[in-house]
Amino acid sequence: MMQCQYKHLINGQWESSETLGANINPSDLDDLVGNYAQGDQQQTINAIEAAKTAFQSWSCSPIQQRFDMLDAVGSEILARKDELAKLLAREEGKALSDALGEVIRAGQIFKFFAGECVRQTGDKLASTRQGMEVEVTREPVGVVGLITPWNFPIAIPAWKIAPALAYGNTVVFKPAELVPASAWALADIIHRAGAPAGVFNLVLGKGSIVGETLVNHLDVAAISFTGSEGTGRNIASKVVARMGKVQLEMGGKNPLVVLDDADLEVAAEVAVNGAFYATGQRCTASSRFIVTKGIHDRFVAAVVNKMGKLEVGHALDTNTKIGPVVDKKQLDNVCQYIRVGKDEGAKLAFGGEILQRKTKGFFLQPTLFTQANSSMRIAKEEIFGPVACVIKVADYEEALAVANDTVFGLSSGIVTTSLKYANHFKRHAHSGMVMVNAPTAGVDYHVPFGGRNGSSYGSREQGRYAAEFYTTVKTVYIAS
Ligand code: NAD
């Protein structure tokens, strides 16, 4: 007998698969969130073909129709925020308060891009030639394939789907295998908000099957991907080889510089929030604290003191500040890095232990290493868990050099009371986002998000900058 399953949305119909994937709660391994269909190549192709057909009318649809649909999606997400936050916390392990923040953000993103539907503009220019006028307009690119990671199960899909639809594209969405429940709930909302058949398609399943089919298909005009650097590089090489458009948001090794003149309480709070909230599973998480020698010991003591008060536990427990690591593979990976840190000679200042709780889950103490340096793997490679290291430096100049000594460049932060150093850092930090006296993680939804170097490739996501990726420019000459 076929088990109860959550299905794909293809061409406006809910469609099942022979193969199912179990979605397990990382806070309680006995809790099955649900069984989710695992798509095959043919189902993915069917979704792409449906999106291609639907593009003909959606790309020319009235902007009011798009506004109404995206606005309705945003309204429903916000109205159901507590229920959706519980689902998200249950499948991903993010503490309920953080999950709620993420769901609200997803609703706000849909509302923002509803507004963008009716704010689309072009340019009308004088020509250099007599009797000629020039217009520059933006048009949708076509079918877009959206591939997302597990760590923001609703916000990242929202910040790709909403602009894609707002600018008149049609979508095939492939969420991460670990978090299909939030993706399915979002698809259900978009479907009921009136997306015409084929305009928005959800295909659940593996990157190596559903993802690869999207990446290689000539009818997918653009791929927007968020995930790890290795997968991103692989995807980009394939999409570029077939002259498709591609946008990648990838990893980080985000530095937080703390100067001698910093307010100690601000520095410790910013550091703990940036590094350990959401279990450190944020691409913008601070993983390197670069601290000048005059404040170093007091900073470490203050951070360790705060870390000791962070409640690690079941994501749905309202006392929990730090939920579990997302799955066994990720837990093993993070624990391996903790061993590497010890072997490399860094000093374990706090944490590093797996924790037992009432339910079976992947609970890990937030972990801090001191006496690290830039040549250590724990200071170079993205760990993507609740682990940070402290690098002691002589002065601001050395701090800046160490902060920029990375292959990544997503977010960077400085804690200082000096306007001079804050201004210098803003200009000279090699990252797409800079935070002054604020955690490296935690951003607004209406402004561009993205990084440099190994962290990002292609144009920025979010805010009105998203138009760069989801539209193509047309220049029209009109002779009178
Ligand atoms: P991942 O690269 O393993 O997977 C991301 C997505 O790609 C998943 O949906 C997966 O199924 C799919 N995929 C895997 N192989 C594929 C292939 N061959 N072809 C097409 N698709 C394929 O990443 P993850 O483990 O889900 O997420 C963690 C990573 O995401 C971290 O490195 C983190 O830094 C990064 N991340 C970056 C940002 C950002 O905006 N910069 C935001 C969140 C997460």
| DSSP state letters, 106-134 | HHHHHHHHHHHHTT---EEEE-SSTTEEE
95 CB burial (10 A radius; 0-12, 13-18, 19+): buried
Contact 327, 92 (CB under 8 A): no
Q: What is the mean pLDDT of residues 466-479?
A: 98
pLDDT of res. 3: 52
Look at ligand 1, atom 32, and give the residue with the nearest C-alpha: 228
Percentage of the chain exceeding pLDDT 90: 99
Q: What crossing angle do the helices spanning 180-192 and 155-166 adopt, rounded to 10°?
A: 30
Verify whether residue 283 is a known catalytic residue: yes
Q: How far apart are CA 215 and CA 234, in angstroms?
A: 10
Strand bridging mode 143-147 / 170-174? parallel
Q: How far is the CA of 176 from the centre of ligand 1 (A)?
A: 7
Residue that the structure tokens 């000629």 belong to: 132
Residue that the structure tokens 């690119």 belong to: 141
Verify whether residue 49 is a known catalytic residue: no
Tens of pLDDT, residue by residue over 194-232, are 999 999 999 999 999 999 999 999 999 999 999 999 999
Q: Which domains does the chain have, with CATH numbers?
A: 5-250+446-479 (3.40.605.10), 254-436 (3.40.309.10)
Tens of pLDDT, residue by residue over 377-389, are 999 999 999 999 9
User: Of residues 283, 335, 382, 461, which has the active-site annotation?
Assistant: 283
Percentage of the chain exceeding pLDDT 70: 99
409 lines ligand 1 (CB under 6 A): no
On average, the pLDDT of the chain sits at: 97
Mutate to test the pocket of ligand 1, among 94, 215, 228 (most ligand atoms within 8 A of CB): 228
Q: How far is the CA of 434 from the centre of ligand 1 (A)?
A: 23
Tens of pLDDT, residue by residue over 95-150, are 999 999 999 999 999 999 999 999 999 999 999 999 999 999 999 999 999 999 99
Amino acid at position 110, single letter: F
Contact 358, 229 (CB under 8 A): no
Strand bridging mode 354-355 / 220-226? unpaired
228 lines ligand 1 (CB under 6 A): yes
Instruction: Please state the atom number of ligand 1 nearest to the C-alpha of residue 449.
Output: 40
Tens of pLDDT, residue by residue over 114-125, are 999 999 999 999
Contact 140, 111 (CB under 8 A): no
Q: How far is the CA of 138 from the centre of ligand 1 (A)?
A: 29
Contact 368, 389 (CB under 8 A): yes
Question: What is the band of 480 on the pLDDT scale with cuts at 50, 70, 90?
Answer: confident
Tens of pLDDT, residue by residue over 321-360, are 999 999 999 999 999 999 999 999 999 999 999 999 999 9
* Phi, psi angle pair for 406, to nearest 5°: -155, 155
Return the bridge partners of 202, or none: 9, 173
Question: What is the band of 1 on the pLDDT scale with cuts at 50, 70, 90?
Answer: very low
Residue that the structure tokens 């406006």 belong to: 12
Instruction: With a cut of 50, say whether residue 260 has pLDDT above it.
Output: yes
Tens of pLDDT, residue by residue over 64-91, are 999 999 999 999 999 999 999 999 999 9
Q: How far is the CA of 207 from the centre of ligand 1 (A)?
A: 9
325 lines ligand 1 (CB under 6 A): no
User: Of residues 249, 269, 382, 461, which has the active-site annotation?
Assistant: 249
